[in-house]
Amino acid sequence: MALQVFTAVTGAPWESELVGALDRADHGVTVVRRCVDVADLLAAAATGVGQAALLSAELRRLDGDAVSRLLAAGVAVVGLVEPGDDDAAGRLRQLGVSRVLPADADAARIATALREAVTGAPATGRDVGDPRAALPALGVPEDPADRPAGRGRVVAVWGPTGAPGRTTVAVGVADEAARLGVSTLLLDADVYGGVVAQVLGLLDEAPGVAAAARQATAGTLDVARLARLAWAVSPRLRVLTGLARADRWPELRPQAVATVLDQARRLSELTVVDCAFCVEEDEELSFDTAAPRRNGATTTVLEQADTVLCVSGADPVALQRTVRALGHLREVLPDVEPVVVVNQVRRGPVPGDPEQEIAAALSRFAGTRVGGFLPADRRATDAALAAGRTLAEVAERSPLRTALRGLAAELAGVPAPARRGARRRG
Ligand SMILES: Nc1ncnc2c1ncn2[C@@H]1O[C@H](COP(=O)(O)OP(=O)(O)OP(=O)(O)O)[C@@H](O)[C@H]1O
Ligand SMILES: [Mg+2]
- Judgement on whether residues 264 and 336 belong to the same structural domain of the protein: yes
- Judgement on whether residues 160 and 117 belong to the same structural domain of the protein: no
pLDDT at 130 over 50: no
368/365 Cα distance (integer angstroms)? 8
Percent of the chain with pLDDT over 70: 88
pLDDT of the residue at 68: 87
User: In which domain, by residue range, is 47 found?
Assistant: 3-132
297 Cβ inside 6 Å of ligand 1: no
> Is 31 a domain residue?
yes
171 Cβ inside 6 Å of ligand 1: no
pLDDT at 162 over 60: yes
Q: How sure is the predictor about 131, in pLDDT bands with cuts at 50, 70 and 90?
A: very low
> Is 253 a domain residue?
yes
> Is 422 a domain residue?
no
- Judgement on whether residues 72 and 171 belong to the same structural domain of the protein: no
Task: Tell me the HSE value of 244 on the side-chain side, using a 13 A CA sphere.
Answer: 8
Task: Using the mean position of ligand 1's atoms as its centre, give its distance from the Cα of residue 171 in Å.
Answer: 11
- Judgement on whether residues 323 and 174 belong to the same structural domain of the protein: yes
Q: How sure is the predictor about 150, in pLDDT bands with cuts at 50, 70 and 90?
A: low
pLDDT of the residue at 340: 98
363/357 Cα distance (integer angstroms)? 10
> Is 198 a domain residue?
yes
Task: Tell me the HSE value of 289 on the side-chain side, using a 13 A CA sphere.
Answer: 12
Number of compact structural domains in the chain: 2
By the 10 Å C-beta count (0-12 exposed, 13-18 middle, 19+ buried), 331 is classed as exposed
- Judgement on whether residues 310 and 362 belong to the same structural domain of the protein: yes
pLDDT digits (tens, 9 = 90+) for 200-258: 998 766 779 999 999 998 888 999 999 999 999 998 999 999 998 888 898 899 999 99
pLDDT of the residue at 72: 83
313 Cβ inside 6 Å of ligand 1: no
Q: What is the reported pTM?
A: 0.76
> Is 387 a domain residue?
yes
> Is 420 a domain residue?
no
- Judgement on whether residues 20 and 43 belong to the same structural domain of the protein: yes
Task: Using the mean position of ligand 2's atoms as its centre, give its distance from the Cα of residue 161 in Å.
Answer: 10
> Among the three residues 132, 161, 184, which one is the final residue of a domain in this structure?
132
- Judgement on whether residues 37 and 157 belong to the same structural domain of the protein: no
> Is 425 a domain residue?
no
> Is 401 a domain residue?
yes
Task: Using the mean position of ligand 1's atoms as its centre, give its distance from the Cα of residue 378 in Å.
Answer: 10
> Among the three residues 105, 132, 159, which one is the final residue of a domain in this structure?
132
Mean pLDDT score, 338-355: 96
pLDDT digits (tens, 9 = 90+) for 26-56: 888 999 999 989 999 999 998 888 999 999 9
Cβ-contact 6, 45 below 8 angstroms: yes
- Judgement on whether residues 84 and 168 belong to the same structural domain of the protein: no
Atom in ligand 1 nearest the alpha carbon of residue 190: 27
374 Cβ inside 6 Å of ligand 1: yes
- Judgement on whether residues 375 and 259 belong to the same structural domain of the protein: yes
- Judgement on whether residues 291 and 381 belong to the same structural domain of the protein: yes
52/58 Cα distance (integer angstroms)? 18
Q: Candidates 167, 343, 390: which one to mutate for ligand 1, based on the most atoms within 8 Å of Cβ?
A: 167
Cβ-contact 54, 97 below 8 angstroms: no
Task: Using the mean position of ligand 2's atoms as its centre, give its distance from the Cα of residue 343 in Å.
Answer: 13
pLDDT at 127 over 50: no
- Judgement on whether residues 324 and 386 belong to the same structural domain of the protein: yes
Q: Which domain CATH number covers 14?
A: 3.40.50.2300
- Judgement on whether residues 8 and 149 belong to the same structural domain of the protein: no
> Among the three residues 77, 99, 132, which one is the final residue of a domain in this structure?
132
Q: Which domain CATH number covers 366?
A: 3.40.50.300
Q: How sure is the predictor about 285, in pLDDT bands with cuts at 50, 70 and 90?
A: low
196 Cβ inside 6 Å of ligand 1: no
